């Protein structure tokens, strides 16, 4: 249930976009936000039931549009 909620939310695309598009300069300007993103991923990775949401998603996966 929690895994489904995370996978269908905008959370993962938001974090992925932050990691993909950030230069070192942007990361230094938004260091607190980046640390929050990193800590979020770290917490998710510590829960074996949630780890699948950090792996590659099925190519047919479509996030829910809000």
Give me the domain span that covers residue 35. 2-51
Asked if the structure places residue 11 within a domain, the reply is yes
Please give the Cα distance from 46 to 11 (Å, whole number): 17
Which parts of 1-66 are beta strand (E)?
Answer: none
Q: Is residue 14 part of a domain?
A: yes
- Report the predicted TM-score, pTM, of the whole model to 2 decimal places: 0.70
Cα torsion 13, 10, 4, 36: sign: positive
Q: Is residue 33 part of a domain?
A: yes
For 14, 21, 30, 32, the CA distances from 62, given in Å and listed in that order, are 14, 21, 29, 30
- Token pair listed for 15: 């974090």
66 located within any domain: no
In the chain, how many domains are there? 1
Domain contains 64: no
Per residue in 19-62, pLDDT (tens digit) is 887 678 888 888 898 999 999 999 999 999 998 888 876 676 66
Euclidean distance between CA atoms 51 and 65, whole angstroms: 23
């Amino acid at each position: 249930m929690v895994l489904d909620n995370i996978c269908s939310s905008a959370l993962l695309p938001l974090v992925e976009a932050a990691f993909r598009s950030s230069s070192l300069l942007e990361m230094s300007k938004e260091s607190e936000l980046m640390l929050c993103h990193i800590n979020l991923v770290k917490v998710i990775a510590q829960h074996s039931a949630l780890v699948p949401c950090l792996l590659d998603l099925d190519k047919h996966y479509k996030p829910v549009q809000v």
